[in-house]
Amino acid sequence: MKKWFFLRAPLGWGRWMRRDAAAAWLFLMPSAGGFAVFYLIPFVMGVMYSFMSGVSGGRFVGFANYQELLASHSFRKAAYNTFYFSTVSVPLILVLSLGLALLLNRNIYLRNWLRTSFVLPLVVPVASVIIIWQMIFDWNGILNYTLSRFGIERVDWMKTEAARYVVLAVYIWKNVGYNVILFLAGLQQIPKDYYETAQIEGAGRFRQFFGITLVYLTTTTFFVVVMSIINSFKVFRETYLLAGDYPHDSIYILQHYMNNMFVSLDIQKLTAAATLMACGIMAIVLGLFGLERRYRQFME
């Protein structure tokens, strides 16, 4: 009798697998149906409308809507502000959240209280918290009052270039806790034996950090970067509640442009801008996947 005979699947295994797969698809159908109805089908229809001259009775115009969109000064300004914000905010929140995770991973005073405080922004409604931020950064708000008490000139935070830093602070406050949780989970998966062995061999803290910690946090870091980029594109809600439909030019982002196009019922520009934004996010994520794959191959 051949050895591989014992490695064969039991009788009826294929039938059980087919039955199990059918049950899995049955449970996935409600979620898949909801995703298709509320996300996939509207997005496909939006892409189709971006190549038409009108929503009803329109004709195919090719890339004319995209050419008109790219020639728009408002769209170029919104695209630049969105790209600039993501370029600045993602590396900053990545470094900050990793540093906080390394700090909370040690036995420090009030560690449990600090962990709870970082999770609170995830459960507190944004609309209610924005009221507090407005009280802080208003012309007659708490921050300007404090500055004036020290003889420092007041700053119109939401109507000058400083608005960009306010939105950046709100973004970091809202998302840093989620990233810290992910990094803490990744740090706790690293075996302690590796650090003990490195210490015996005379490796310092920097060598341990770059040779052990960062290497084993590769997957976690990749996921955190992707989620941070996606969240940086979702900062419109906070910006809209802070500054309204037409904020200062420094915080006028793509979602503001698309919201204004929706109000004016310019569906062609709206769908073209949404398609370009989705393609941009997809290109960034696919590029990160390629970098992560090459890094793994290099490490192997």
pLDDT at 77: 93
Residue with tokens 């370009």, as numbered in its chain:
276
List Cα–Cα distances, 175 to 11, 75, 234, in angstroms.
Answer: 51, 27, 11
All structural domains of the chain: 1-49 (no CATH), 65-299 (1.10.3720.10)
Q: For residues 131 and 206, give the distance between their C-alpha atoms in angstroms, rounded to a whole number.
A: 42
For the chain, 300 residues long, give each residue's pLDDT as a single digit of tens.
444 444 454 545 566 567 777 788 888 888 888 888 888 898 898 888 888 887 777 788 888 889 999 999 999 999 999 999 999 999 999 999 999 898 888 776 666 777 777 777 777 787 788 888 888 888 888 888 898 888 888 888 888 888 999 999 999 988 998 899 899 888 888 888 888 888 888 888 888 888 888 888 988 999 999 999 989 988 888 888 888 778 888 899 998 899 888 888 888 889 999 999 989 888 988 888 888 888 777 766
Are 184 and 256 in contact, with CB atoms under 8 Å apart?
no
For the four alpha carbons of 144, 136, 118 and 286, in that order, the dihedral sign comes to negative
Kindly report the pTM of this predicted structure.
0.81
Are 52 and 268 in contact, with CB atoms under 8 Å apart?
yes
Q: Which of 165, 178, 183, 170 is nearest to 250 (CA)?
A: 165
Q: Which distant-in-sequence residues (6+ apart) come within 8 Å of 208 by Cβ?
A: 195, 198, 199
Which residues face 52 on adjacent strands? 60
Amino acid letter at 129? Answer: V
Q: Which of 134, 225, 129, 116 is nearest to 174 (CA)?
A: 129
Largest CA distance in the chain: 93
Q: For residues 268 and 265, give the distance between their C-alpha atoms in angstroms, rounded to a whole number.
A: 9
Q: For residues 115 and 178, give the distance between their C-alpha atoms in angstroms, rounded to a whole number.
A: 11
Give the relative orientation of helices 267-299 and 218-232 as an angle to the nearest 10 degrees: 170
Helix, strand, or coil (residue 109)? coil
Q: For residues 208 and 200, give the distance between their C-alpha atoms in angstroms, rounded to a whole number.
A: 12
Are 260 and 197 in contact, with CB atoms under 8 Å apart?
no
Are 233 and 278 in contact, with CB atoms under 8 Å apart?
no
Helix, strand, or coil (residue 52)? strand
- Residue 225: count other Cβ atoms within 10 Å of its Cβ: 20
